[in-house]
Amino acid sequence: MIDLIISPFVEFEFMQRALFGCLLLSINGSLIGVFLLLKRMSLSGDAIAHAILPGAATGYFFAGLNVLAMTVGGLIAGVLVAFLSGITARKTNTNEDSTLASYYLCSLALGVLIISMKGGSVDLLHVLFGSILALDNDTLYLLYFNSALCLLGFCCCYRFLVMDCSDSVFFKGLSRYSGYSHYLFLFLLVFNLVAGFHALGTLMAVGVTVLPAAIAKYWSNRIESMLLIAFVVAVMGALLGLLSSYYYRLPSSSAIVLWLGVFFLLSVLLGSQGGVLRSLKSKAELNEVLS
Amino acid sequence: MKFPCKIVGLSLAFLCSSVAVAADKLSVVASFSVLGDITQELGGDKIALTTLVGANQDSHVYKPTPFDVQTLAKADLIVINGLSFEGWITRLEESSGFKGLRVVASKGANVIELHEEEHPGEEHDDKNEHAKHEEHEEHKEGDHQESADHQEHDEHHHGDQDPHAWHSLANIRVYINNISSGLIEADSANKAYYQANKVAYLAKVDALENKLAAKVATVPVAKRQVIISHDAFGYLGRDYSFRFLAPVGLNTQMKPSAADVAQLIRQVKAQNIKALFVENVSDDRLIKQIGRETGAKLGGHLYSDALSAESEPAPSYLKMMEHNIDTLIDELQKTL
């Protein structure tokens, strides 16, 4: 059994690289994901992942499959959309979800426009789906840097972020830095998605960010333990996903996200915090007491 | 009353003039760059050619633009590869209201059957059918009804045949015959011109075939093993006894699993394969990873589904074939 788990990683370097990449992504994915969840912005993550498209496409057309160019392009597009929607929402007193939806749709349309204007040269979908099985050194450095930056950001501003996430109105009254912590978080989110998109593709990168946090929510209501659970779950999903891709010929990135999906369904049923079975049981107990 | 008359008169004049322009040169649409090049060689200055999927572009993921639809609507002749290579062509033809002649260039070519073990009976039938087509064609060039029949047949066999038949010089003679007969049928006034072009082009193909055969013979059959990023080269393999291994299947849209990559790496190590090649139209990150892991060297670009731009090494069909074989053989010679 242990041999079955370890042997693919011993034999093949690409499996090691894939697992290592997933590990790095799990660190910042779980961090960002939990705070996204607390801020009730899980779907915004998806929207911003799409907003990256025109930047990455432009970078690709200028420099080919160059990690740096696509990262910078994606960062610029993602940050622009995230910040514009944040600023517009705060200045015009509208909800951030509607401004973000509008900006990201424009950005997505612009991306499609750029791609089709340049002609369908190399299959850009391939590029946008990322390839966890072919992580080269450049991409791994990027993931490294992203994790380091993310950890540093959270170390410095953990308190601010927690306050901003749990009670942003209170925090606004308390400190004039409230806005900055939100923008710092948005920047880390965009960077995380851009890095994730190199490894797993735009769509699947959101999966490893949002799903572990959603799972953790069913097992704990303390931020620290949620972070830990999310990280462990993300690593487990990556490991099982890679192994099932190895043994059952499944496409790797979807296998990883689907394993996380399985964990999520199990958590919905069995979770100690509001899982279906647990709430049925407590309801039954309550009825017993009442009768 | 005068005013509308003027408009009618003007538009009539305009219509006539555009018809006159169209009659001057045969308007031909080719589906992708390889066919475009061959058609241009055969049609010379008697045709106005538009190529839908241009140089360095991937036909598998082509999306027609309104401009393409417009071009096709006005065309007299369309040249396609067939064998389900251009999955988008039927819809494009329907939506554009194309009424011209359709030439399936691979009609009668010697095609590689995939999944042979699954339909042994069908395959047998198919070979007979092809032989019949070839025979038929020599007597009666470009029979329209026949071409329609064949197309139905193709669609019936969706995905069972390797569509990249142009990588075989033997097949390209069939392509040349088909396209040339199409041109003659659509524009019989210039028959002699088209036939002269065809003879000249076939002579070039013959010369290239001899040259390539001599070049390939310098590497023993057992050493002709390479890795390439998508298997579009089945025909080169058949004609010149190469063995090609690829991490992605026939279609560039399929995503490889870890199992596929692992299997390939094992194979490269076990058989001591030294040469890796990248195509101009596919994602090369995976091939590079395999190179890192096995120590095999990256041996340069091959051209499969599209020609290169004018400044690069494969701007025409014949140059592409020569470049591919040169690149392969040069790299393999280093490992001898």
Contacts of B281 in chain A (CB under 8 A): 121-123
Chain B, nearest residue to A124 by Cα: B283
Task: Answer yes or no: is the ipTM higher than 0.85.
Answer: no
Among the listed residues A120, A146, A5, A199, the one whose alpha carbon sits nearest the alpha carbon of residue B289: A199
Q: Please, what sign has the CA dihedral across residues B184, B185, B186, B191?
A: positive
Contacts of B284 in chain A (CB under 8 A): 65
Q: How far apart are CA B79 and CA B167, in angstroms?
A: 17
* Phi, psi (deg, nearest 5) at residue A94: -110, 175
**Domains of chain B with bracketed CATH:** 22-204 (3.40.50.1980), 218-334 (3.40.50.1980)
Give B334's contacts (C-beta < 8 A, 6+ positions apart): B274
Contacts of B255 in chain A (CB under 8 A): 129, 251
B53, B62, B255 ranked by CB distance to A251: nearest: B255
Whether residue A8 and residue B62 make contact (CB cut-off 8 A), yes or no, is no
Whether residue A246 and residue B256 make contact (CB cut-off 8 A), yes or no, is no
Residue A252: exposed, middle, or buried by beta-carbon count in 10 A (0-12, 13-18, 19+)?
buried
Chain A, nearest residue to B57 by Cα: A121
Q: Indicate whether A236 pLDDT > 90.
A: yes
The tokens of A115 are what? 């791609």
What mean pLDDT comes out for the span B98-126?
A: 67
pTM, 2 dp: 0.72
Whether residue B56 and residue A121 make contact (CB cut-off 8 A), yes or no, is yes
**Domains of chain A with bracketed CATH:** 2-290 (1.10.3470.10)
Chain A, nearest residue to B255 by Cα: A251
Within B150-233, strands assigned E span 225-228
Give A262's contacts (C-beta < 8 A, 6+ positions apart): none
Contacts of A247 in chain B (CB under 8 A): 259
Chain B, nearest residue to A117 by Cα: B65
Whether residue B262 and residue A15 make contact (CB cut-off 8 A), yes or no, is yes
Q: State the pLDDT at residue B126.
A: 39
Helix (H, G, I), strand (E, B) or coil at B318: helix
Q: Indicate whether A95 pLDDT > 80.
A: yes
Whether residue B293 and residue A14 make contact (CB cut-off 8 A), yes or no, is yes
Mutate to test the interface with B, among A9, A126, A248 (most CBs of B within 10 A): A126
Question: pLDDT digits over B16-69, tens only?
Answer: 444 444 457 889 999 888 999 999 999 888 899 988 888 777 776 677 778 888
Least confident range from B75-84, B85-94, B199-208: namely B85-94
Chain B, nearest residue to A13 by Cα: B293
